[in-house]
Amino acid sequence: MKELSVIEMDEVSGAYSWDLSSIGSFVLSAASNAVELVSSAIVAACVGAMGGALIGGKHGGDGGGILGVGSIGQGVGMIGAAIIGGVVSGIAAAVVGWERTEEYARKAIDGMITGTLS
């Protein structure tokens, strides 16, 4: 059985690092992986909620609404998309880990700032 190198481990999606050589190492690995999972999920949930609110607010009133304004639809779309975007992004980040979460969060924030996130 082949042992994976550090470079190969970094290429595996969602590969949290585990050290099973002793009980103490296992506990330390589990604790550090839990911190990585929670921090990845929190960062991605915040970014996903911001992106969802932007996109949901922009397109929520596309139907026009009863009075032709669509402001209620925009509000509902903004809130609903923020909740869904936050939950889905948090779950996805928990799967892929911190490095990929940070990469996508930076891209999403850059897109929100420059206006290219649509």
Please choose, from the candidates 38, 24, 25, the residue with its C-alpha nearest in 3D space to the C-alpha of residue 98.
38
Residue 13 pLDDT greater than 60, yes or no = no
- DSSP codes, 39-79: HHHHHHHHHHHHHHHHHHHHHTTTT--SSS--HHHHHHHHH
- Residue that the structure tokens 């929670």 belong to: 38
113: which residues sit within 8 A by CB, 6+ positions away?
Answer: none
What tokens does 31 get? 């604790």
The enclosing H or E element of 88 equals helix 71-96
51: which residues sit within 8 A by CB, 6+ positions away?
Answer: 85, 89, 108, 111, 112, 117
If you average pLDDT over residues 69-98, what whole number do you get? 87
pLDDT of residue 65: 64
For the stretch 17-73, pLDDT in tens is: 777 788 888 888 888 888 889 999 999 999 999 988 888 888 877 777 666 677 777
Alpha-carbon distance values, 12 to 4, 5, 50, 54, 100 (Å): 10, 11, 28, 32, 11
Domains of the chain, by residue range, sit at 40-118
The pTM for the full model equals 0.73
